[in-house]
Structure 1
């Protein structure tokens, strides 16, 4: 019943969905592929097929998180082809940059029956892995029908989405979707409890931790060429605010205006979450009476108090290396927070706001370790940043605590891989009855 109702409503809504996607510049490319009008097969030059593993990561952040796992799957299964599907253009760029020679990129099909069926028929996956609870019912139902194991990795359920599913009384619908999954590998015990409450089979749910902790730890040496390329001069202290949203940029600029009087060598860099908003952010800074530069149009002769807007893709994570203090956006406004680990891995103290539902466990760990501070206003930002700029010892101590917290929480990647490999062994085509069964030897709760 749910399948029929879902598809009826989805087909009626498809014209609206297509219009919404066309209105978003970052989602336009690949729309033909997503609609199932053009599905590129994954073949050898000879036209032969190899077994294929399909990994789905929505956009840039998910691609970054899953990259180490994809590389390990490639190493463990050199006879398999791998594809990583995304929804956005930034996701495509990340796959092509980070996984060249390891996996091919494809755009994920929209969850309409014809697009899903064509994609699965063309790619013929033997395993499907998806990141952070991207539950697409038709895709999961069709994979189940074809006896293809589906594994949720790094799963999480925010308070908002969990509450919404309860409010609308969709428990039996979600149960029908979640029962299609072979494994649910969740970030925290809270996520385990929530997905079981929504209807997942408890025997197939396991807490493995957050694979974002298992990104390769970079060396923290200062890179003079990167620093100069970002427009930051010798002796200046960079305050880097990443993945920011409307409302946060205004608070950060207001805080910066208070900071530059006692700290005239401080420079603020804003990296909007959505790059298409850059022009609006620049206008806002100019209206506030501050000198502003765009990273793509730097005049390196400009010195003194100023705001640099990072309007290029793929530089944010590396740019935190040159920061004195890092702020992570989506936390001062009710978005839920972005990747708090990006500054932490570089040994930088981390600031974030009260809205951290998407990264609650990491926020709590940073606070407990002394590597992060929660702020709620421009005044809080100015006070804490000013403290760290004044007291270099306190700033260094907080940064070291943030980096150590990351090191102390690694291991989710290996736990996830062990469980995925167990599922893989149980999904051989010669034994279809084993598909979907839990790999009991490695399913003990962690």
Structure 2
């Protein structure tokens, strides 16, 4: 019954879904593939194919160490990584070049997912975090293809929504072979939705292991000269920021730059297509604007003194944090839920964030408990924290050591997850096409 209702709603909603995808610039690419007009050809006929789904840039970044580890162990297995957004595609092609092939995730209509599964013939399906597509998971289960939730989590908002349809979610989760979850809280939430206790495991957050794969183990790939900084200037980097939050940050920077004119603010908007609007906001506060994309290769530019650099390029934020004196992670002063707190922590930088950390609650708590993370309730709290940091370099250095220890103490998740996945997916031989077809009948 539940699947019937779900599919009727999908059919009724198709025009609206299509319009929504067309209106979102970052979701337009690959639309013909997503609606099943174009499907991968010949990928699964003879090869082992491991299908990994990661929604966008952040999820792709998380799975890079995992995918690389699998590729080293099973070099003959073809790894296909699907995404929904264009930024996700770019991340796959740049960070997993020569290791994984990209495709876009099909829309969750039975006839579309059937075509994709028939074309890929995967030996296993891994979904990153919480992309639970009922028809896709059910069809994979029917064909005997194991599905694994990798680095799984459930935000409070998603959990409350799913509780309204718990009988349906119980059916959906019954098609999942294994859930490898970020926290005890996530494990409890999946169990409350009806997941089998035998299939849910709290293994930790794979983002802790990003630093073990070259991301932050050496010098940053960009340098102070990239931003045209003088020797005595200090960078305060605010990453993955959102509207309203940016105004709070700029108000704090007004106060800090008056007392410490050698502080330069870097704003890295979560969505770089907002850079033009953000530049106007910055100018309204009276600060000169420097666009990273328009800086010469040498980084030399004539603007000096307090200024705001907008990081309007992709793929540089994680390394830019390595140049920071102090850092702030966005989506936390506004009710978004927070972004990757570990990127600046991996460089040993004090991490400031707001009260809205539902998407990264366990990590936020660990950082605060360590003494190296600073949770601020509002702009005034942020200003006071920045002032304290600018006055005491020793305090900043000590905070950096504490957050780095959190990273070191929580690594090893990728290896645990790889071992668990090996227990449910067979990498001995590829699935023959006739087995796939018979499983569907």
Give the alignment's TM-score, normalised by structure 2.
0.93
User: 1:37 maps to what in 2?
Assistant: 37
Deviation for aligned residue 1:222 = 5.7
Given that 2:123 and 2:427 are in contact with CA atoms closer than 8 Å, whether structure 1 keeps it comes out as no
User: 2:2 maps to what in 1?
Assistant: 2
Deviation for aligned residue 1:40 = 2.1
The alignment partner of 1:282 has SS state of helix
User: 1:155 maps to what in 2?
Assistant: 152
Deviation for aligned residue 1:363 = 0.2
Deviation for aligned residue 1:164 = 2.1
Matched, 1:179 2:174: yes
Q: Are the structure 2 counterparts of residues 223 and 51 from structure 1 closer, same or farther at C-alpha, using a change threshold of 3 Å?
A: closer
Deviation for aligned residue 1:221 = 6.3
Per-residue CA deviation, residues 57-113 of structure 1 (Å, 9 max, x unaligned), is 000110011111111111121121001111111111111111111111111111112
Given that 1:349 and 1:371 are in contact with CA atoms closer than 8 Å, whether structure 2 keeps it comes out as yes
For residue 101 of structure 1, the aligned residue among 79, 98, 102 is 98
Query: RMSD value over aligned CA atoms?
Result: 1.9
Deviation for aligned residue 1:220 = 6.5
Deviation for aligned residue 1:426 = 9.2
For residue 290 of structure 2, the aligned residue among 293, 307, 311 is 293
For residue 206 of structure 1, the aligned residue among 201, 206, 209 is 201
Per-residue CA deviation, residues 326-348 of structure 1 (Å, 9 max, x unaligned), is 10001000010000001000110
Given that 1:240 and 1:270 are in contact with CA atoms closer than 8 Å, whether structure 2 keeps it comes out as yes
Runs of 4 or more, structure 1, over 3 Å off, are 217-225, 425-431
Deviation for aligned residue 1:232 = 2.8
Distance in 1 separating the partners of 2:366 and 2:220 = 29
Q: Which segments of 5 or more consecutive residues in structure 1 lack a partner in the other structure?
A: 436-446
Q: Are the structure 2 counterparts of residues 119 and 302 from structure 1 closer, same or farther at C-alpha, using a change threshold of 3 Å?
A: same
Distance in 1 separating the partners of 2:95 and 2:158 = 30
Given that 1:222 and 1:322 are in contact with CA atoms closer than 8 Å, whether structure 2 keeps it comes out as no
- 1:303-314 aligned at under 5 Å gives the runs 303-314=304-315
Distance in 2 separating the partners of 1:219 and 1:360 = 23
Per-residue CA deviation, residues 288-308 of structure 1 (Å, 9 max, x unaligned), is 111111111236111110011
Matched, 1:375 2:372: no
Distance in 2 separating the partners of 1:132 and 1:231 = 38
The alignment partner of 2:247 has SS state of helix
- 1:218-257 aligned at under 5 Å gives the runs 218=215, 226-257=223-254
Q: Are the structure 2 counterparts of residues 119 and 425 from structure 1 closer, same or farther at C-alpha, using a change threshold of 3 Å?
A: closer
Q: Are the structure 2 counterparts of residues 261 and 113 from structure 1 closer, same or farther at C-alpha, using a change threshold of 3 Å?
A: same
Distance in 1 separating the partners of 2:6 and 2:128 = 23
Distance in 1 separating the partners of 2:431 and 2:25 = 45
Matched, 1:402 2:403: yes
User: 1:363 maps to what in 2?
Assistant: 364
Given that 1:26 and 1:88 are in contact with CA atoms closer than 8 Å, whether structure 2 keeps it comes out as yes
User: 1:260 maps to what in 2?
Assistant: 257
Distance in 2 separating the partners of 1:212 and 1:100 = 20
Matched, 1:13 2:13: yes
Distance in 1 separating the partners of 2:121 and 2:325 = 48
Distance in 2 separating the partners of 1:191 and 1:149 = 21
Distance in 2 separating the partners of 1:161 and 1:213 = 24
Give the alignment's TM-score, normalised by structure 1.
0.92
How many pairs are equivalent? 427
The alignment partner of 1:260 has SS state of helix
Q: Mean alpha-carbon deviation: is it higher for 292-301 or for 382-391?
A: 292-301
Matched, 1:79 2:79: no
Distance in 2 separating the partners of 1:42 and 1:292 = 50
Deviation for aligned residue 1:260 = 0.7
Distance in 2 separating the partners of 1:414 and 1:89 = 29
The alignment partner of 2:276 has SS state of helix
Per-residue CA deviation, residues 212-263 of structure 1 (Å, 9 max, x unaligned), is 1011345566659622113333221000000001111000000000001111
User: 1:113 maps to what in 2?
Assistant: 110
Q: Which segments of 5 or more consecutive residues in structure 2 lack a partner in the other structure?
A: 437-441
The alignment partner of 1:125 has SS state of coil
Distance in 1 separating the partners of 2:391 and 2:61 = 34
The alignment partner of 1:366 has SS state of helix
Distance in 2 separating the partners of 1:5 and 1:224 = 51
Q: Are the structure 2 counterparts of residues 221 and 43 from structure 1 closer, same or farther at C-alpha, using a change threshold of 3 Å?
A: closer
User: 1:193 maps to what in 2?
Assistant: 188
Matched, 1:144 2:145: no
